[in-house]
Structure 1
Amino acid sequence: MGRLSLGLQLGYWGARPPEGFVALAREAENLGYDSVWTAESWGNDCFTPLAWIGAQTSRIRLGTSVAQLSARTPTACAMAALALDHLSGGRMILGLGVSGPQVVEGWYGQPYAKPLTRTREYIDIIRQVLRREDPVTSDGEFYPLPYTGPNAWGMGKPLKPITHPLRADLPIFIGAEGPKNVAQTAAIADGWLPLYYSPYRQEVYADQIAGAPEGFEIACTVMTNVNDDLAAALYPVKAMLGFYIGGMGSKKRNFHKELMARMGFEDEAEQIQELFFAGQRDEAIACVPDAFADEISLCGPRERIREKLQDWERSPVTTLLVNGDAALLRTLAELTL
């Protein structure tokens, strides 16, 4: 049975920056949490809040969960990571993800084609920057360096970063859902950020992560609600699942829906999406099976959560990323650390 570490998942902002997020990160650090994570969607970026937190903490690791590939070129992403790694004294974890076609093509104005190939190219360039052994070059399809395509001046020059990175082995994690993406993650990254994971269905990803190297980390976001009323505790999880499976993606292609189907709930996933697209959101949430919501979360009375944590400790997951107030962070620390 492995010892789980804890991380604070702050996610991305809503209409305004969340109040007290730095104080919450400092509380997590004081409680012994290993990491704190920030996200981006089509609002705030993920690096700026993380730098703000890093300036006011001293030990907790700083992760992006996730920095979207299409938001910046690989060299620009490497620059942000190496700068934050220096400023924080080597606490940076670079979590990357391709996002989905609606965001990539609708917000960033880029094609979504070949996400696995783009991820490989992106990470190869970042690792070149961090090693700083030779000028950075790439003959890849998506991020050619130097650029020689249409409208090029033909004057591009391979360059090394001026700033020497603090760590050539700055850890890179990937947010991945599909089987091929998870298998690639285990082969080329230092860690995996699954969206949903069930310790009771380890076979869903067992083959994909079987070849992961020693020290490979799996940091999984797990919604946690302490409440003696199990149905009330599960409702926010079901609401999240109803939104992601019903509406976070097109009707033709929704990666969250596909994952739920692979986890054994194909008919329910189809029904959730149909109801969501019909405008029946409450009904879509009600259709989320309690069993599925319960497997991927930590919900219910305190002692029930204590028992469920043992199941997570027997899984390959190394870190639980939790989102909540200071009281919840303290409860999880008491039960886990």
Structure 2
Amino acid sequence: MKLGLQLGYWGAQPPHNHAELVAAAEEHDFDAVFTAEAWGSDAYTPLSWWGSSTERVRLGTSVIQLSARTPTACAMAAQTLDHLSGGRHIVGLGVSGPQVVEGWYGQKFPKPLARTREYIDIMRQVWAREAPVTSDGPHYRLPLAGEGTTGLGKPLKSIVHPLRKDIPIFLGAEGPKNIALTAEIADGWLPLFYTPRLADQYNEWLDEGFNRPGARNTRETFEICATAQIVVTDDPAAAYAGIKPFLALYMGGMGSEDTNFHAEVYRRMGYGDVVDEVTELFRSGRKAEAAAIIPNEAVDDSAIIGDEAHVQKEIKRWEAAGVTTMLVSPGSPAEVERLAALVAE
């Protein structure tokens, strides 16, 4: 099992200790450092900033939103960082949801799977540099032509020669069709709320993708980097209380009331009634009550809380389920060191 440091996205202010956490991750043999974005801080700027002080850890996005950048702009950023880091970049992509895509970026959300496939094809054309980049669309037509254009667009080839033509692309997928697409066209999967309890179900969806004609990877060459809150403690109650507000936000407050992909993940886990109640409370402003009704079992499904022996046992269970890397969010360099030691043992 490998560990990745998940720095996430910023809150109201920039975090104060990320430089220390990244240094500790590098020192204690973490495999990677990841950043994220929502509708505030972007992912690439902090990743480049903190990554410039490292020499070994891989530098990933978990995730950047497709609609924030055109596919060629994303490919440019990726090959630039890959050069600057000596070939350590991982592009983690996600479609986000209609509220963010249409409300924040002013882009169209429908057909997310088709958009993802087209987006990745264009990125790989940029890195291959075998010919000028073209795309018949319909989502990212290159060169753009027709009504409202000058008609002067021309296919172009990247000025920069990429350090690697196969920069790895991971997808943040949650639904069965998206997970199968991930196995077919990507190099790794970035599940946000993974539970080993449903590993057989995930593997069925992944196998559908692996078995498609032209699939890019096999299970042996594919990575699963699952976000996992790991809290080593003799006071589990405090840890549960700290995580539940986060779950309440994602269950009840992300997306619209009837279009929340994170909520659907928990429905598939068997918590449909909990999701309904959390959503009702959260959207009526009763956020503390929404968090309080979440059962400990729902936290345990996608987090590990307990003493060292319990944590080590659970890490082995996640590994047996197929997870290759656990993306963790320790709060201090000491916690980074402690987690690294537990995995090493």
Is residue 219–residue 320 contact of structure 1 (8 Å, CA) maintained in 2? yes
Q: Secondary structure at 2:288's aligned position in 1?
A: helix
Task: Report matched runs for 1:150-229 at 5 Å.
Answer: 150-210=147-207, 211=210, 213=218, 214-229=220-235
Equivalent in the alignment of 2:247: 241
Does residue 335 (structure 1) correspond to residue 308 (structure 2)? The answer is no
Match of 2:37 among 14, 37, 40: 40
Deviations 1:28-72 (A, max 9, x none): 011000000011111111111111122111010000111111111
Does residue 31 (structure 1) correspond to residue 20 (structure 2)? The answer is no
Is residue 20–residue 333 contact of structure 2 (8 Å, CA) maintained in 1? no
Q: Taking every aligned residue pair, what percent have the same amino acid on both sides?
A: 55
Equivalent in the alignment of 2:213: none
Is residue 204–residue 262 contact of structure 1 (8 Å, CA) maintained in 2? no
Query: Counterpart amino acid of 1:335?
Result: L
Which consecutive residues of structure 2, in runs of 5 or more, have no partner in the other structure? 211-216
Deviations 1:92-140 (A, max 9, x none): 0000011111111111011111111110110000010011111100001
Is residue 225–residue 234 contact of structure 1 (8 Å, CA) maintained in 2? no
Match of 2:258 among 249, 252, 255: 252
Is residue 251–residue 260 contact of structure 2 (8 Å, CA) maintained in 1? yes
Deviation at 1:169, TM superposition (A): 0.8
Distance 1:94 1:149 in 2: 32
Query: Counterpart amino acid of 2:182?
Result: T
* TM-score, normalization by structure 2: 0.94
Distance 2:201 2:270 in 1: 9
CA RMSD across the alignment: 1.1
Distance 1:94 1:175 in 2: 11
Equivalent in the alignment of 1:308: 314
Deviation at 1:23, TM superposition (A): 2.4
Equivalent in the alignment of 1:68: 65
Deviation at 1:266, TM superposition (A): 1.2
Which consecutive residues of structure 1, in runs of 5 or more, have no partner in the other structure? none
Deviation at 1:234, TM superposition (A): 1.5
Task: Report matched runs for 1:255-274 at 5 Å.
Answer: 255-274=261-280
Distance 2:180 2:248 in 1: 27
Deviation at 1:237, TM superposition (A): 2.1
Deviation at 1:256, TM superposition (A): 0.9
Does residue 278 (structure 1) correspond to residue 284 (structure 2)? The answer is yes
Q: Secondary structure at 1:77's aligned position in 2?
A: helix
Q: Secondary structure at 1:186's aligned position in 2?
A: helix
Distance 1:149 1:11 in 2: 40
Change (3 A) 1:232 1:204: farther
Matched residue pairs, number?
334
* TM-score, normalization by structure 1: 0.97
Match of 1:9 among 1, 6, 26: 6
Deviation at 1:22, TM superposition (A): 2.0
Does residue 112 (structure 1) correspond to residue 118 (structure 2)? The answer is no
